[in-house]
Amino acid sequence: MKLYSINTGYFKLDGGAMFGVVPKSMWNKLNPADENNLCNWAMRSLLIEEGNKLILIDNGLGDKQDAKFFGHYHLNGDDSLDRSLAKHGFNKDDITDVILTHLHFDHCGGSIKREGDKLVPAFKNATFWSNENHWKWATQPNEREKASFLKENILPIQESGQLKFAPVEQNASIIMDTLTLKFVSGHTDAMMLPVIQYNDKTIVYAADLLPYVDKITMPYIMAYDMFPLTTLNEKRSFLKEASQKDYILFFEHDPVIECCTLQSTERGIREKETFKLEDIR
């Protein structure tokens, strides 16, 4: 098995929304905001190469939206999905499976592209993985979350016939024995956290349960989370398990840090070592 960090670009979101009830006087030291109170965040996917499988976890914003949309989210940086794949000798047609942790636009926007007036899968040879519970949640959204579930990112996947649902059960295995799923529902219903067995290590793609390293601290809960107290309980349970079992966490949105291990301290569970994915042996 080989693992590759795939940076699809950076975008900006309101600092208060990303850090929740934590005061700006504290979080602004961690990710300084610009004059519009916006902080820069990564959109970091994970690529798994195993045998004849090439599995991509999440795929960023994509490039099919209009200028008004990108004016809100300020896509920036030199990275893109295509350039990052090419860096490792791959292209979108090589992808066999796309796991979508959830269907918010910054996680699944790259799934679909425009061909003239049509919306078609950007990964023409891939199976797209979601789950039935989250798919229903996303296609029948509540008013608060509706702006994050864009029909043009979601419905064409099903229309293509390339969609498959993973079983909604903890530690369900999909695609191969070394890839399983954890389910959490504080951020959004039935979000999937892929768990990869890599050599003798366990790597967890933390998605939006722990999108950046500072969210390991318990009070850090995004305003974007639908059920904050559920997130709190899920974080507590997951961090205890991850610390005891020495998991490696892979961060999707941290602008600097890709991975970390955990340790117990007098102040609770905190990051232990931080490093790049390519440093894991």
Residue 162 is predicted with a pLDDT of: 98
Residue 198 is predicted with a pLDDT of: 96
User: How do 118-121 and 112-115 pair as beta strands?
Assistant: antiparallel
**Residue 156: closest CA among 119, 186, 128, 187:** 119
- Spatial contact of 250 and 3, defined as CB atoms under 8 Å apart: no
Domain span at residue 92? 2-279
Residue 208 is predicted with a pLDDT of: 98
- The one-letter amino acid code at 133 reads N
Residue 223 is predicted with a pLDDT of: 96
Counting Cβ atoms within 10 Å, is residue 226 exposed (0-12), middle (13-18) or buried (19+)?
Answer: middle
Sign of CA dihedral 225, 166, 105, 277: positive
Q: Any idea what DSSP says for residue 126?
A: P
**Residue 167: closest CA among 192, 188, 138, 149:** 192
- Spatial contact of 227 and 236, defined as CB atoms under 8 Å apart: no
- What CATH number does the domain containing 179 carry? 3.60.15.10
Q: Enter the tokens of residue 267.
A: 């102040």
- Number of structural domains the chain divides into: 1
246 three-class SS: coil
Residue 79 is predicted with a pLDDT of: 95
- The residue count of the chain comes to 281
User: 10 Å Cβ neighbour count for 14?
Assistant: 14
- The one-letter amino acid code at 245 reads K
CA–CA distance, 172 with 169 (Å, rounded to integer): 6
Residue 66 is predicted with a pLDDT of: 86
Residue 281 is predicted with a pLDDT of: 81
- Spatial contact of 188 and 102, defined as CB atoms under 8 Å apart: yes
For the chain (281 residues), the mean pLDDT of every run of 10, in chain order, is 97 96 95 96 98 97 90 92 97 98 98 94 98 98 95 97 96 95 98 97 98 96 97 98 97 98 95 96 81
